[in-house]
Amino acid sequence: MMHGTAPNATDQDRGWTEILLAAALQGATFAVVKAAVDSAGAAGVQKAASQGPVETPTHRLQERNSMRVLKFAAGFAVGYVLGSRAGREKYEQIVATARGS
């Protein structure tokens, strides 16, 4: 059956596989974005609060890694949103295949 929205846990016409798959994907996306924002925010606060941190190779590497994680998480979140809007039909095909229909 084709649905236009992500399943809720209380949907009676949705199977456990579909509900749990959607919940896991939403939870993973939230966790990745939250971790990236927290990490970048902590690095920004630390940098702003200090009187000029000593630039060491390790510090520069950590800063670059924080930005990479933030960019990855932002890209992942944007891709997830756009993909979920554009790829609903493909999602339904994957669910149908998983169910053996």
pLDDT tens per residue across span 15-59: 778 777 877 888 888 888 888 888 888 777 777 666 555 566 677
Report residue 15 as tokens: 């199977």
Band (pLDDT 50/70/90 cuts) for residue 5 is: low
| In contact, 91 and 7? CB cutoff 8 Å | no
pTM: 0.38
| Cα Rg, the chain, nearest whole Å | 19
Which residue type is seen at 79? G
